[in-house]
Amino acid sequence: MPRTVLAQHLRFPLTRPFRIARGVKTEAEVVTVAIGEDGRTGCGEAVPYPRYGESPASALATIETVRDRIEEGAGREELLSLLPAGAARNAIDCALWDLEAKLSGRDVASMIGGPVPRPVASALTVTIDDPEAMARTAAGLAEMPLLKVKVDAGDPEAQIRAVRKAAPRARLIVDPNESWDRDLVEAMQPLLIEMHVDLLEQPVPAGSDEWLEGFAPAVPICADESIHVAEDLPTVARRYQAVNVKLDKTGGLTAALTLAQAARERGLGLMTGCMVSSSLSMAPALHVAMLSDFVDLDGPLWLREDRFGGVRQESGFLHPPVDRFWGTS
């Protein structure tokens, strides 16, 4: 029986606005791919991201360009040469992993030789607001092990201080989403130490980070927008101390595992991140999370309604989806 490929654009309303320096999101827009073969179906999900010139329409159009090759039997390795890194390749790649698991009777963990995903401490996000509102949010998360604090260039010191006061014991990741400049990064170093921040994520715009090659940060700086695939590492490793691996950037789990391994070989720290999306995006990302120092996979927790059987959060730990949700036979 020949393969079939079905691609769709879906929307998931959020419980509340998700505000970062780049804008506000009120729903998660995802593209899903379902690949059927021999009575089994493998599924994958991706988030086309405007920051990278993507939209649901462009991702669906990209998927159409390789539909025939996938239906003819092209696999994950061939896909790497058929499409560039990005959301379209991610959705197909993850669907192929899921399909292979179902057809072979093996789970993805055994296929990659890694551990079965287990509950892992995942950052819970405090989005941008006035410091008082951010403090109220942080107070409700004060007993969680890890928080990600979204800030901008307006008054990040007040934002960070407010969160730290409300959550004195949590580990903190500060994420300006490219909104700072060199002067602000340098000025914020003493505060980052004082507030016991564990990681500063992509403070300046990708493409304007050359000066980091000569900079000795007070806390490790993690590349996000500056790193997509393993081929970016020679430059990134000179500027950053850690990298954020996101499947929507790498173009799937296949390339994400390659990036994670290559980053480790260079002695870089690892974070596994996500876009705001459903648990179908988190299930494959959890395999990278098992290799990571920091995990930021709270995307589904922002949805009004996630996919049935998806991830769940307890006391700041993200629990994997139920059996057979993704990547198992």
pLDDT digits (tens, 9 = 90+) for 207-242: 999 999 999 999 999 999 999 999 999 999 999 999
Query: Are 248 and 284 in a shared domain?
Result: yes
Do 125 and 39 lie in a common domain? Answer: no
Same domain, 165 and 313: yes
pLDDT at 1 over 90: no
Question: Quick one: 196 and 251 in the same domain?
Answer: yes
- The answer to whether position 242 is within a domain reads yes
Q: Domains in the chain: how many in total?
A: 2
Beta strands in 237-316, from DSSP E residues, in sequence order: 242-245, 269-272, 294-295, 312-314
Tell me the average pLDDT of the chain.
97
Number of H helices, E strands in the chain: 11, 14
| Same-domain status, 61 and 150 | no
- Looking at the fold, whether 146 and 19 belong to one and the same domain comes out as no
Q: Is the pLDDT of residue 22 over 90?
A: no
pLDDT bracket for residue 51 (50, 70, 90):
very high
Asked if 296 and 169 sit in the same domain, the reply is yes
Is residue 281 assigned to a domain? yes
- Whether residue 137 is predicted with pLDDT greater than 80 in this model: the reply is yes
Q: In whole angstroms, how large is the CA radius of gyration of the chain?
A: 19
Average pLDDT over residues 269-289: 98
- Is 146 inside a domain boundary? yes
Query: Residue 29: which CATH number?
Result: 3.30.390.10
Annotation marks residue 246 as catalytic: yes
Q: Is 148 a catalytic residue?
A: no
- Pair 132, 280: CB distance under 8 Å: no
Asked if 252 contacts 271 with a C-beta cutoff of 8 angstroms, the reply is: no
User: The tokens 């769709």 sit on which residue?
Assistant: 8
Domain that holds residue 56: 4-106
d(CA 71, CA 55): 24
Answering whether pTM is above 0.85, one says: yes
Kindly state whether residue 91 falls inside one of the protein's structural domains.
yes
Residue 325 lies in a domain: no
285 and 205: one domain? yes
**Whether 312 and 168 share a structural domain:** yes
Model pLDDT for residues 150-175, shown as the tens digit of each residue: 999 999 999 999 999 999 999 999 99
Q: Tell whether 127 is covered by a domain.
A: yes
Catalytic position from the list 102, 148, 165, 246: 246
Considering 102, 148, 150, 249, which one is annotated as catalytic?
Answer: 150
What CATH number did the domain enclosing 218 receive?
3.20.20.120
Domain membership flag for residue 61: yes
